[in-house]
Homo-oligomer: A and B are copies of this chain.
Amino acid sequence: MTARDTDRPRLSRRGFLGAASGVAAAGGSALATGAMAAMPVAQAAPPDAAEPFWGPHQSGIITPAQSHTYFAAFDLIAGKREQVADLLQRWTEAAAQMSAGHPVQSGDSGDLIGLPPSRLTVTFGFGAGLFIKNGVDRYGLAARRPAALVDMPNFPGDQLIEAKSGGDLSVQACADDPQVAFHAVRTLARLAYDVAEMRWLQSGFLGGFGAKETPRNLMGFKDGTNNPRVDDDAAMNAVVWVGEEGPDWMRGGSYVVVRRSRIFLEHWDRMKVAFQEQTVGRQKLSGAPLGKLRENDAPDLAATDADGNPVIPENSHVRLAMAETNDGARILRRAYSYNDGVSYTAERWPPWKQGMEFDAGLVFICYQRDPRSGFIKIFERMAKFDMMNQFVTNTASALFACPGGTARGGFIGQSLFATV
């Protein structure tokens, strides 16, 4: 009932480092303070809060992260472009209704009766297959495919499951309640009957760290510290939103990269904290860059130790991910943790055991103005050199073009279909 429930020494969660793997707590006075992380988690919002659906941008992109996500991809099976446009119109209307906390007009499953809007957002995206698939221009849209909607490369180490990758359309539902988020995907899937079939569905969650703390992912490290700030319009315009360079239907939109990154937690958990920190390039407790005190201190990439070695290792995750080492490339991370149970796994490290291990990790999701100068640019090098790769395997990958938002009465992607 109380914090005095055990005979053991009273360790607060803040004090875990002193007990972990015999590593002394580095920077006990270095608890993160100061600036709020750029992608705040707003789980503490009142549950009756609703996020706006209509507007120049789709919701769910720079919206402070909700606690749960369901990301779904669909394959189009319709023969005619009009059917796709009709679906997008139905989807848009339903998403607006659900975001406001209303049931959909026909056949709502009813499982949300009594639940508030829970900050539901629904974000739609178009995969390459909408424009051309297996060389076939099914909907007369091939000429309208944006150059930025590339075929995603296979990166070194990728072990992609085809059935969990790609897709012609995407729906990301996020909410502060898992049932509200799933209901949105379920409803949209039903509305797609005879037009599009589900291809894959991935759920994700965040711990309730509150609006003032960067959430920790399953590796135990803060995830998203270095994100651009979503309340910085100039940064969002530079990093996230498509501008004049894009087709009209993509202006105010963004490109989303989704990667299912399985983390070998059993392996990671057996590493000493000091080694984990070298891998990440940050302190576990505070989130501060190695050699610094506070989470939001800028990493000093030039700093060296007494032996002349970089304080932040050359192959550490943070160094390889930073804009400074990627010709200024930036992305907006909006990642979730996932847990899909256990699966039989052959370990890749001593003592080379085989057995059931967690199929858990990160649903890495990031938004950017152009994936060629965003995620792909950054990850090409990380895939080769990041020390973290020995603990992570990417098992699925997808890229979708998320059109700009729409005013009430329009639908997502309308100008793409109207102008052909």
Q: Measuring CB to CB, which residues of chain A are less than 8 angstroms from any residue of chain B? A: 1-8, 10-17, 19-21, 47, 50-54, 67-68, 70, 93, 96-97, 99-115, 118, 176-180, 182, 186, 189-190, 197-203, 205-210, 213, 216-221, 265-266, 268-270, 273, 284-285, 337, 339-342, 355-358, 360, 408-409
Contacts and interface: CB of A to CB of B under 8 A. Distances in A.
Contacts of A11: 97, 102-103, 105
16 contacts: A1-B52, A3-B50, A5-B50, A8-B105, A10-B102, A12-B101, A19-B104, A21-B106, A111-B207, A111-B217, A113-B285, A179-B337, A198-B355, A198-B356, A200-B342, A201-B358
Given A3-B100, A20-B110, A103-B20, A339 B207 contact: no
Contact of A115 (B177, B207, B340): B207
Contact of A8 (B21, B97, B197): B97
A218 B102 contact: no
Copies of the protein in its oligomer: 2
Specify which of A14, A51, A67, A177 lies most central, judged by the most chain B CB atoms within 10 Å of its CB.
Answer: A177
A7 B411 CA distance: 13
Nearest to A217: B111
Given A197-B355, A198-B356, A109 B207 contact: no
A53 B4 CA distance: 11
B1 A107 contact: no
A97 B113 CA distance: 37
A99 B4 CA distance: 11
A34 to B, nearest CB: 15
A345 to B, nearest CB: 11
Nearest to A14: B113
Nearest to A77: B355
Contacts of A270: 107
A104 B13 CA distance: 9
A94 to B, nearest CB: 10
A341 B47 CA distance: 25
A52 to B, nearest CB: 4
Nearest to A202: B341
